[in-house]
Structure 1
Amino acid sequence: MASIRREIQVAVPPAQAWDALRDVGRIHERLVRGFVTRCELEGDVRAITFANGMSVRERIIDVDDAERRVVWSALGDPFAHHNASVQAFESGDGGTRLVWIADLLPDALEEKVAGLIEQGLGAMKQTLEGVD
């Protein structure tokens, strides 16, 4: 099973980053503008469309306020298995360290998904810091 872990520092307080991260139905507006262009939440499943035109359905597994962690799972092809989380940690300088972890099958998707995660973290930084 491929396991990917990436992180990024953002120059906003953890409470501000968490407020956007936990708003799972508005990530296209509040968290990853430009990376995700559409997000519709129905119950615990969100349908998202990326800027590259790719669409995916994701089940929201957990929104944990105490740990500032959101967990989701992509549903269906091309994944045999997918589970991911993003967690917001205090970075010690007043900012936030965002950690994104994804476990997935098949292993052949690792490079593609890692690239998407890196793009997503970049979009988080730009969106949260208000850089356009």
Structure 2
Amino acid sequence: MASIHKDIPIDAHPDDVWAAVRDFGALHKRLVAGFVRDTRLEGDARIVTFANGTVARELLVDCDEVRRRLVYAAVSERVRQHSASVQVVADGDGRSRLIWIVDVLPHEIAPYIGAQMDQAALAMQKTLGRSAAEVRRA
């Protein structure tokens, strides 16, 4: 199984980053605006429509408020196994790091998933940094 690790610096307070991460149904508005076009909830799952037209069903596995850690699994025809965790940690004065780990099979899809995660990371930095700037101005 391929494991892909991303350590993403975010120019926003950990509480604000965690609030966006834990809002499972607002991925397209609060976390990765532009990278995800739409998200809708169906029970413990979210149906995610990405900007490239791909649709994925992601199941909520755990949302740990104390550790600021969210775990989800994706179900699709192309991917036999996809589990992910996203954890928010403090990184200095008012900044955060988002630790995102995805375990995926088959191995051959890992480069594609990694590239998608890189694009999502840029969207997170832009979306969350903009939100923090708006709060600072208010």
TM-score class normalised by the smaller sequence:
over 0.9
The alignment partner of 2:122 has SS state of: helix
Which residue number in structure 1 is paired with residue 6 of structure 2? 6
Which residue number in structure 2 is paired with residue 71 of structure 1? 71
Q: Which amino acid aligns with 1:34?
A: G
- More helix per residue: 1 or 2? 2
C-alpha displacement at 1:11, in angstroms?
1.0
Structure 2 unpaired stretches of 5+: 132-138
Where do residues 3-42 of structure 1 align in structure 2 (5 Å cutoff)? 3-42=3-42
How many Å separate the matches in 1 of 2:87 and 2:128? 14
Structure 1 unpaired stretches of 5+: none
Aligned residues: 131
How many Å separate the matches in 1 of 2:36 and 2:62? 20
C-alpha displacement at 1:85, in angstroms?
1.1
Q: Scaled by the length of structure 1, what TM-score is found?
A: 0.96
How many Å separate the matches in 2 of 1:7 and 1:121? 9
Runs (4+) of structure 1 exceeding 4 A deviation are none
Q: Deviations along 1:65-95, whole A, 9 cap, x unmatched? A: 1111111101131111110011100012320
How many Å separate the matches in 1 of 2:81 and 2:93? 37
C-alpha displacement at 1:42, in angstroms?
1.3
* 1:129 is aligned to 2:105: no
The alignment partner of 1:129 has SS state of: helix
Q: Scaled by the length of structure 2, what TM-score is found?
A: 0.92
Q: Deviations along 1:2-22, whole A, 9 cap, x unmatched? A: 000011111111001001110
How many Å separate the matches in 2 of 1:118 and 1:63? 23
Check the 8 A contact 1:20/1:30 in 2, yes or no.
yes
Q: Which moved more, 1:47-56 or 1:84-93?
A: 84-93
Which residue number in structure 2 is paired with residue 54 of structure 1? 54
State, as a whole percentage, how many aligned pairs show the same letter: 43
